[in-house]
Amino acid sequence: MPELLTNRAPTLARPAPSRRRAGIGEALRWSAFRALERLSDWRGNNTQGVFALSDPQARGPAMWLYITTIGELNAVAPMLEWLVTQRPDLRPVLITEHAHYQDAYLARLPHAVVCLTRGHSLDAQKLAEQLPPQVLALAEIPCLPSDAPCRFSYAFLRQARRHGAATLLLNGWLYHYEPPARLDQIERQLLERDFLRSLDVLCVQDDATAKTLADRGADPQRLVVTGNMKFDAMQRPHWQVSQARSPGLLGALLAARRPTVVGGCVTELPEQQAVLGAFQRLRRDHPEALLILAPRHPENKERLQALLAQIEAAGLRWVRRSAVPDAPLPEAVNCLVLDTVGELRDFYAAASVAHVGVDHNVLEPLGLGKPLTIQEGWNTTYPSYPVYRLLRDQGVLHSCADEAALHAYWRSALEGAASVQEDLRRTEEVLSHLRGSVLRHQQACLAWMGAEGTTRRPEHAAGAAGTAKTR
């Protein structure tokens, strides 16, 4: 098995270490950065004027949560639920720069407030004035300022410290990206060490990440190697179709037991062509088969139109999920384009076999026990890569080079081939050894989760709020 914590016994919850005060050096660095941000504002800073709350009237103590994507929200869901249970007195606030995630975020956490921001320091100040944080949790990324396409400004972390919030990094991992803009580069150069030293506990996926962060300035006593939480989040033993956003449509598919291929996040043109070609071959043997195809970014109209043109050229009778009611699909439809956000994970339940696009989440279909195909070419800097690498190295991911190989495996899966059943057995065996990260996270964070004044006595950092993002 991989070294990743598979043989390590859980440890008892550790007492919260004492907190450091932000020194004069941090205050000077922050003042210098704020001066540069103001200059950027004067020149036309594109992070200004974006701030919005889903509930503009929301007030009171809050739990700030920075979770980059819908996939990451699903991946950290067990830990998120635990955090909310620990502090029911706090209003969850989901911070994002993606307005189109709001409905999916609120479907997962109906009582939350979604905060839209690109990370300007004045946004952090506004949010803290209206919904002062008592807990801040960063899920997976960023471990460093501007380390990923979706970034979290130091301003929000600094505001959390000023308000005495517990500051937690969950499922930490590094992209190794360079900051995309000059001011982002300066933020990292000036404030990277302060960023790391502002986190009370840093839960990271592996020893390599822990070493890198320690070398960059994190306190080794606050670093905890917890493994990858995604292996726990994939389990859905109590899932029911009534919990889905489209229970009528999805329930009818499950009841009909129609041979169904679900292609999730198939983004690039060559892979889309391979999937469509394989499905056309499959229909020769199974003419009643259905293809459910989910583009990665349905809000990207140009990319979506290109996909629809491919489907049309393939001669498939298709509908868009956004254009049909939550009701059984007509039998004549043989392709459902899942152009909504946040539904793919549930639609994997209808799959006879699944295919996950390069660089995306293989655990969602595996969590439902579905046969799975992928193609090669995964990017080492994407958050899906650590899971892909672990499972690839264990030999449980079935990679298909072309449409002929895809068709062959899909047909074997539909027809219950013994080789596919053995793949599923071996996959579950491997996955069972990789679970346990959520418990380690809880043990690492428990000491920081008490109400103000009961578990800890935070020392507030001095100074004002704010920082900047991409310019």
- 167-219 residue pLDDT tens: 999 999 888 888 888 889 999 999 999 999 999 999 999 999 999 999 999 99
Regarding whether 228 and 135 lie in a shared domain, the answer is yes
Q: Are residues 113 and 212 in the same domain?
A: yes
Mean pLDDT of 429-439: 92
Higher-scoring residue by pLDDT: 40, 14: 40
Please provide the average confidence, as pLDDT, over all residues in the chain: 88
> Is 406 part of any domain?
yes
Chain-centre distance for alpha carbon 44: 31
pLDDT at 49 over 60: yes
- 157, 57: one domain: yes
Q: Domain containing 188: what range? A: 24-235+435-448
245 and 344 both lie in a single domain: yes
Kindly state whether residues 142 and 199 are assigned to the same domain: yes
Q: Residue 457 above 60 pLDDT?
A: no
Same domain, 226 and 362: no
Are 95 and 183 part of one and the same domain?
yes
Euclidean distance between CA atoms 428 and 423, whole angstroms: 9
Beta strands in 39-132 (DSSP E): 52-53, 62-67, 91-96, 113-116
Which of these, 216, 206, 209, 176, lies nearest to 379 by C-alpha position? Answer: 176
Specify whether 420 is located in the same domain as 443.
no
CATH number at residue 309: 3.40.50.2000
The answer on 344 and 201 residing in a single domain is no
Residue 59 lies in a domain: yes
CA torsion angle for 295, 231, 248, 344 (degrees, to 10)?
Answer: 0
| Count of structural domains within the chain | 2
- What pLDDT, on a 0 to 100 scale, did the predictor assign at position 465? 30
Whether 462 is in a domain gets the answer: no
Structure tokens that stand for 234 in this block: 């994939």
Neighbours of 270 (CB within 10 A): 11
In a domain, residue 1? The reply is no
What's the predicted TM-score (pTM) here?
Answer: 0.77
Output the CA torsion 71→72→73→79 (10° steps).
140
Q: What is the CATH number of the domain that holds 70?
A: 3.40.50.11720
Strand-by-strand arrangement of the 260-264 sheet: 318-320, 335-337, 290-294, 260-264, 353-356, 372-374, 398-399
Q: What are phi and psi of 190, to 5 degrees?
A: -80, -40
Q: How confident is the model at residue 459 (pLDDT cuts 50, 70, 90)?
A: very low
Residue 455 falls inside a structural domain: no
Q: What is the pLDDT of residue 21?
A: 67
Tell whether 202 and 316 lie within a shared domain: no
- Strand 113-116 to 52-53 pairing: antiparallel
Q: Do 120 and 201 have their domain in common?
A: yes
pLDDT at residue 298 above 80?
yes
